[in-house]
Structure 1
Amino acid sequence: MATCPQCRSVGDRGRECPNDNFTFVDDTALATAPDGHLLGQTIGRKFVPMELLGEGGMGYIYKAIQKPVGRAVALKVLKDNFMHDSVIRDRFLREAEAIARMSHRNIVMLFDSGLDEGTGVLYMAMEYLNGRPLADELRQHMSLKRMLDISMGIAAALAEAHKHGIIHRDLKPENVFLVRDELGQEVPKVLDFGFARLQGATKKLTQAGIAFGTPHYMAPEQAMGLEGISAAADVYALGVIMYEMVCGDVPYDGTNAMEIMNKQVNAPLPKVVPKAGLNPPHKFVQLVESCMQKEPEDRLADGSQVLTVLQQIAEGVEQASMNLSAPMLAPQGNANNTKFRQQSSTGGVGAKQMWLLVGGAVAFLLLGILLALVITRL
């Protein structure tokens, strides 16, 4: 059963209520929505929130329907109490701008964004991802191939972002979604560019000395609140994610954010110890360690460089797998020797028999010569 959120009349889900032009929404969705929700209303003249998917500190994420095509989208809206905060409002708009600059298989797609005149909310309409975050998979067994595929997908997304002058600054497993494409292949999608830094942006949204990001995946220069954060910070975060996939845990942990950030800056890199049953190539371990160097200039420069190395590793793993699965063919010489030994042991002509035959032939020849001489004399 579906209900109009405005007048509470009953109707068919997805149909427009004749009383107030709201859209009928499932009762279960209405029951779990907070006060002041947007369910059933039309945002941006074509997006109707039908279900609340999640709530963050600054906004809501809805599953919405795009009219009139009926496409499911993820609708992100800024909470009302932040609409008058210029920094947060500008950061929301900058996230939309960052996503709009890019078009890539491994990055969530933006359909529309803006200020809805009817409700007064800022919104972003993005592709709806039917999958699960990478964070849900990290503690489970993961094959080496899948690990490399996910790493290459994230690196490809970073390569696209860095090419457009965008630094994510909050890359973590919760911001990587694993979905299936039309062929059933797993595709990692990078999302949530809320802390992104855009090259060429004239307005600063962060202050020097203040760290932005998630402590477990924060590069040392981010943890120190330094200015001029480069693409190498995203490389560091990817290194931590790869470390976690290989080892089953993050390299640095603590009881609070400050303790973790202090370790990011000062603690030596823990040894990469793969999970039981996992034997990654040494080059992959070296890549993880390279990405997590303390100094930005000691890491690979950007996502494109990481992707190149990952592709080389994946090709090597695939080639090694093909070599192991290929049939073992004996050299031709060995085959002949084997055949010769088989003949010798199964009644074929052996060395002793060969000498007897040769000796008999020589004796027969000498006898023939002697007989010829006798006949000549006669």
Structure 2
Amino acid sequence: MSLSKVENMVGQKVELYDYIGQLLNNRYLIRDLIGKGGMSRVYLAEDTAKGGMPIAVKVLSFNLANQHMSQRFAREIFIGAQLGRKSKHIVRILSYGVTEDKTPFYVMEYLQGKNLKQILKIQPLTISKFLEICNQICLGLQCAHQGISLKGEIYPIVHRDIKPENIFITEDSRQGEIVKILDFGIAKFLTERSGMTLTDSFIGSLPYCSPEHMEGRKLLDVRSDIYSLGVLMFEMLTGKHPFQTKSNSFGTWYQAHRFQIPPTLEEVNPQVKIPQVLEKIVMSCLAKEVSDRPQNINQILEYLKKLNLQINDGFSSKNSDSIKLSCPVQLVPATLLSEKECLQKNWPKNKPIAPIGFPHLLQTTERAIPTFWAMLPKQEITRFLDKIHGTEFISKMNIYPMLLWVTVLYDTQPYMTKWLPYFLDLKDNKGQNIARTLAEVGYYHLLFFAIEDPTRCAHVTTLSLTANQRQQLIDCLDMSQPSNELILSNQAKNLLKTDYEKLKLDILRKLAADHKSEPEGFKNWMDKFLEMFLKLFSRS
């Protein structure tokens, strides 16, 4: 193992080991260096336990003695592991460890393709390619903004470093081009309640930072990422940055972001013909004041969807104003109801003491939070506590506005599955409210009540929806207004039941595949990592 000396971010000489040829954790064989930065190096490696499957290993440039850097690296692993499992548009973290010289590392999927910076060097994107890539970026950001779970609370994540180098386009043999968001190294928990902020000094990529990020505001929110996305969209469409500076100094870039008015897209690149509404979307993202930007990624996804439909229908810039920049569904930034509060809930007196399940909106001082209450035998509750949980939505909106909401409890050893289905009739106000709240909040609390002791909630867990599932709910709500049902409600239920039975095997295969793809079992190593993660922050 050879040593090299490099300068760290504050100009101090630090020693770095070259791990090429080394076997980390008796499993990951390091083959080549494929990337490096001020704080870490990325290696191409082979997973010897998976028949030499190619993976990427990111090794911190500092050992555990540097507590500040270890905290940041631990946060990157913790955030990336949860988000990568929820969205295919965020690079997936598979495992983590420490080298023999006490340097932290983590293992992630190996991506083949190009980052957006490499692609834009050649030429700007066509409108159709822009819409395809931008939509996937937004789905990844939507997943981050909807948050991760920590000690029973949901904490939305602000990436804070959206730039072309952190957008990777990879080829998938089945799904075509897939966009992946990389590097949550400087991502921030949106709430200060956790005490987990490590943002005393400025860190970011100056050409893509929001004005409030550069000002060091403590209360950065998702709209800071939306500004960075606006800069990125401008560059994707024109091939050039919206702001021109004489130097790369902090002060020069701050003046540009805070005070320069961005030019029109046509002024920068007259050869690119861009629909007026698309230019409005980009310019609204680049607004200097956060209140003037789209308030969440859902809004941008809605604009892009409508624009794509009109382009496919023969869109003309003359009728571009027909798309109104509005979105009925808002993104909720944080959990307002803790799992501890759920444990204090009592089984409703008007419900039978029987193995049933039903949704319920619990009111907080700010808004309603979706929950699902299930009564099961105590033995089943105990069995499924730390097992795999999944959520599916099945619908036939073209013939009747109804959703079958299925929560799946899955145990592989020994095999056992519990299905908790519920029909949401979107003709009914109650069904609409539940579906809308699920889409807005992005998660729900699952409350277990034991038949043997039905009075008080016995256990609660939180299930997050993927960005695609939230979009599915939004689409179903849009299609239900106005509804042109062709069959009766009971007939719709029967059809959905039939589809549900046919899809059960596919749902289980999907859950099993997700479970097997985790090299150590995601739940087990995340539990261990969470313990380490909390210890690190308790020292700060």
Give the TM-score normalised by structure 1. 0.72
Shift of 1:185: 1.8
Work out the CA distance in 1 between the residues paired with 2:208 and 2:279: 18
Work out the CA distance in 2 between the residues paired with 1:35 and 1:93: 19
Bigger Cα Rg:
1
User: Within the alignment, does 1:256 sit opposite 2:248 as a pair?
Assistant: yes
Q: In the superposition, relative to structure 1, how do residues 35 and 190 fare at CA in structure 2: closer, same or farther (>3 Å)?
A: closer
Shift of 1:141: 4.1
Shift of 1:276: 4.5
Shift of 1:242: 0.6
Corresponding letter in the other structure for 2:60: L
User: Within the alignment, does 1:154 sit opposite 2:137 as a pair?
Assistant: yes
CA contact (8 A) 2:189 2:197 kept: no
Per-residue CA deviations over 1:38-65 (Å, capped at 9, x if unaligned) read: 1222223321111111111111100011
Work out the CA distance in 1 between the residues paired with 2:260 and 2:208: 14
Corresponding letter in the other structure for 1:220: P
Work out the CA distance in 1 between the residues paired with 2:59 and 2:107: 9
Work out the CA distance in 1 between the residues paired with 2:252 and 2:16: 37
User: Within the alignment, does 1:163 sit opposite 2:156 as a pair?
Assistant: no
Q: Which runs of 5+ in 2 are unaligned?
A: 3-14, 148-155, 317-540
187, 194, 198: which is aligned to 1:196? Answer: 187
CA contact (8 A) 1:232 1:302 kept: yes
Hey, what does 1:89 align to over in structure 2? 70
Work out the CA distance in 1 between the residues paired with 2:195 and 2:124: 45
Q: Which stretch of the first structure deviates more once superposed, 37-46 or 97-106?
A: 37-46
Work out the CA distance in 1 between the residues paired with 2:23 and 2:132: 39
State the SS of the aligned residue for 2:125.
coil
Q: Which runs of 5+ in 1 are unaligned?
A: 7-33, 323-378
Hey, what does 2:89 align to over in structure 1? 106
State the SS of the aligned residue for 2:174.
coil
46, 55, 75: which is aligned to 2:27? Answer: 46
CA contact (8 A) 1:224 1:265 kept: no
State the SS of the aligned residue for 1:61.
strand
Hey, what does 2:459 align to over in structure 1? none
State the SS of the aligned residue for 2:42.
strand
Work out the CA distance in 2 between the residues paired with 1:179 and 1:115: 29
212, 226, 231: which is aligned to 2:203? Answer: 212
Hey, what does 2:218 align to over in structure 1? 227
42, 59, 70: which is aligned to 2:40? Answer: 59
Hey, what does 1:294 align to over in structure 2? 288
Corresponding letter in the other structure for 1:300: P
Corresponding letter in the other structure for 1:287: I
State the SS of the aligned residue for 1:202.
coil
Normalized per residue, which structure has more strand?
Answer: 2
State the SS of the aligned residue for 1:68.
helix
State the SS of the aligned residue for 1:36.
strand
Per-residue CA deviations over 1:18-54 (Å, capped at 9, x if unaligned) read: xxxxxxxxxxxxxxxx972112222233211111111
Hey, what does 2:505 align to over in structure 1? none
Q: Percent identity?
A: 29
Q: In the superposition, relative to structure 1, how do residues 198 and 45 fare at CA in structure 2: closer, same or farther (>3 Å)?
A: farther
284, 289, 301: which is aligned to 1:307? Answer: 301
Per-residue CA deviations over 1:205-250 (Å, capped at 9, x if unaligned) read: 111xx43211111001011111111000100111101111222211
276, 285, 288: which is aligned to 2:279? Answer: 285
Number of matched pairs: 287
Give the TM-score normalised by structure 2. 0.51
Corresponding letter in the other structure for 1:153: Q
Work out the CA distance in 2 between the residues paired with 1:211 and 1:134: 24
Work out the CA distance in 2 between the residues paired with 1:125 and 1:238: 27
Shift of 1:263: 1.1
User: Within the alignment, does 1:268 sit opposite 2:258 as a pair?
Assistant: no
